[in-house]
Structure 1
Amino acid sequence: MKLTQLEIKEKRSRSKIKKALFILLKIITVLVMLLVLFVVIVYTVNKISSNAEQKRMEPYGQHVSVDGKLMNISVQGEGEETIVLLPGFGNPSPYHDFKPLVRELTPYYRVVVVEPFGYGLSDQTDKERSTANIVSEIHEALQSLQIDRYILMGHSISGIYSLDYVNQYPDEVSAFVGLDSSVPALSEQKIDSSMTAPVKWFRNLGFARLQIKLEADPYDGLAYDEKTKEQLSILIRKNRFNNTQLNEAESMFDNFLTAQTQALPADLPVLLFVQANHPATDQWVPEHEKQIKDSANAELVLVEGDHYLYRTHSKEIAESFRGFMAELGNGAAFIDSAAGNH
């Protein structure tokens, strides 16, 4: 049967569509294969690199048994007074990260750097990262080392945990020092498991390593030696998005809500080092001022720097801190002297 011109055109058109679809399918198949290959390469490189880095990781501090897990604690310096340093959220290695500040403090104080579960060389834990649990674990670690009188110094989110801590253990904490510490009124966004589940896939497939590779080095140009920066790099890759820290992120909103019902004890000496120009809110300084308005002995020091002000202003922080503590000591001596004259 002879085809009409119209039928011939339709047949050719269908043929062209089929060819186009076939080519498109081949392109999609090739792209999917390339994507799978890329994922396999990223996964494999991450596994090989992680194993190699594990061998290059250098131990430090000491492990303390807490709730059946091992928490890493570093004790440096031999001063009469003790400072307990607590890190901000996601710190890869508080021991290494706090080095500039610790270096300035250890000639005068004994400095205890705590690496909570999920940080540095400490174990991870499945226990909920509520403020109550975190505070209890840190306290247990300090008690096991017979550290029972100290100045609490906390960066960022540790300001929220410290708020609970100083109320739980008022007889142990002699003063609180905030290093751009978080305040209850400026809460983080709520994060739930539906948001962290994709992050776990991202991490498990090795893409966290790729992300870190593409990021700017946070320690570039700072007062850290090459060996320290190498260890920090290894620990960033080890701890980024681990399950314990993701659980802490999920608990953060509730922890802020809990903190809103608490206040610093009025008789507790408080020194706050605060970022002078916060990039996201103009309430950063006012909220810190509000936090100490009822304190009998408190001071706020504005610092021209970013959130990690102890990395770049460690000398200034240490000097201001020593001056603050000296004034407290002079005040106490004056009170004792006055009492002795009556």
Structure 2
Amino acid sequence: MTQPEEKKAKNGSRAKKVRNIILKILGAIVIAIVLFLGIVYITNVISTNSEAKKIETYGQHVSVDGKNMNVLIQGEGKETIVLLPGYGTATPALDFKLLIDELSPFYKVVAVEPFGYGLSDGTEKERTTENIVSEVHEALQQLDIHQYMLMGHSIAGIYGIDYVNKYPDEVTAFVGIDSSVSTQPSITDAKFPLKTFALLRNTGLLRLMMKVSADPYEGLAFDDQTVEQMKMISNKNMYNPTSLNEMDHIYSNFKGAQGLTFPKSLPLLLFVQANNEGVEGWIPLHEGQIKESVHGKVITMDGSHYLHHTQFKKIAEDVRAFMNEAK
């Protein structure tokens, strides 16, 4: 073998060795990823089954459209407050617990968990405002509740403005807790990656992400048992099919509410986050909603979007004062 041929053979052998090493490394990486995903998936299945046995029931089931809707009722006051959650609040009755405890000595408080939330069933019906409002109303009818204040957080501002216009003889006031406004500029028609969210849930990666992320309840006044329950129910409900369908309807539901206004004669109290940097003109948007109201008020508060997690005492006090003024 000539010297050039010998050199060429050595180079070929060296390249083959490098290629084999690279292939082995890539193979090891693929195996590691598959093992990791397998462990995450199996852990999720085991944890889901285990948590299902630990979730404690609360409230009562009401039959709506052939399915069970969970409703928590606390307090025996003459006046009734119906609470509606923001989008994605996995367990509304427990999420509102601090506020419910402050309101229930004075009111009958009814926390409704729409389909796909809390301990309620899921549903295949489209999550349009029309369907959601109709279902909530049917639940209240089943409970023989016909006169009430409607109090809602976040997207309940969209469902609520539709609700009070459909059932004006039943709703005595609307109270918004950093409630959404149909014309807020943060809502776009961009499509959500629903299949990606479903994949994260089904593979167990969502559970892992929630596990390693910051504790959303740290420093709040919830007791440890309630926090544990909320976390387990969050794992059960987050990105479930009903929730994803509602997500897919967010833009159309906001657009559908743009032609609606709160009735002028309806008492309207809006608690608004004072430092919302994510939505331009957040406070003026709410001030515009009460502009024509005979009895309307905007109260700004320091805190996160979930004002009822930290300002529950002040919210309860201000609701009582406002309703006394409105009488």
TM-score, with length taken from structure 1 = 0.93
Q: Which residue of 2 aligns with 1:190?
A: 189
User: Is the 8 Å Cα contact of residues 71 and 141 (structure 1) preserved in structure 2?
Assistant: yes
* Counterpart Cα distance in 2 of 1:188 and 1:223: 32
Q: Which residue of 1 aligns with 2:56?
A: 58
Q: Which residue of 1 aligns with 2:101?
A: 103
Gap runs ≥5 in structure 2: none
* Counterpart Cα distance in 2 of 1:189 and 1:9: 64
Structure 1 residue 126, shift from structure 2 partner: 1.1
Query: Tell me, what secondary structure is at the counterpart of 2:249?
Result: helix
* Counterpart Cα distance in 2 of 1:101 and 1:144: 24
User: Is the 8 Å Cα contact of residues 190 and 250 (structure 1) preserved in structure 2?
Assistant: no
User: Is the 8 Å Cα contact of residues 191 and 249 (structure 1) preserved in structure 2?
Assistant: no
Q: Which residue of 1 aligns with 2:27?
A: 29
Structure 1 residue 8, shift from structure 2 partner: 1.9
1:153 corresponds to 2:151: yes
RMSD in angstroms over aligned alpha carbons?
Answer: 1.0
Instruction: Pick one of 259, 262, 266 that aligns with 1:261.
Output: 259
Structure 1 residue 191, shift from structure 2 partner: 5.0
* Counterpart Cα distance in 2 of 1:175 and 1:118: 26
Q: Which residue of 2 aligns with 1:335?
A: none
Q: Which residue of 2 aligns with 1:228?
A: 226
Q: Which residue of 1 aligns with 2:178?
A: 180
Equivalent residue pairs, number: 326
Gap runs ≥5 in structure 1: 330-342
Query: Tell me, what secondary structure is at the counterpart of 1:26?
Result: helix
1:133-167 deviation digits (Å, cap 9, x = unpaired) = 10011001111111111000000001000010001
Amino acid paired to 2:116: G
Q: Which residue of 2 aligns with 1:314?
A: 312
TM-score, with length taken from structure 2 = 0.98
Query: Tell me, what secondary structure is at the counterpart of 2:86?
Result: coil
Task: Give 1:259-338 correspondences, 5 Å limit.
Answer: 259-329=257-327
Amino acid paired to 2:244: L
Q: Which residue of 2 aligns with 1:9?
A: 7
Q: Which residue of 2 aligns with 1:338?
A: none
User: Is the 8 Å Cα contact of residues 191 and 250 (structure 1) preserved in structure 2?
Assistant: no
* Counterpart Cα distance in 2 of 1:300 and 1:132: 27
1:85-140 deviation digits (Å, cap 9, x = unpaired) = 00001111111110110011001000000000110000011111111110011001
Which protein is bigger by CA-based radius of gyration?
Answer: 1
* Counterpart Cα distance in 2 of 1:190 and 1:117: 24
Structure 1 residue 25, shift from structure 2 partner: 0.8
* Counterpart Cα distance in 1 of 2:154 and 2:140: 21
Identity of aligned residues (%): 54
Amino acid paired to 1:168: K
* Counterpart Cα distance in 1 of 2:12 and 2:243: 56
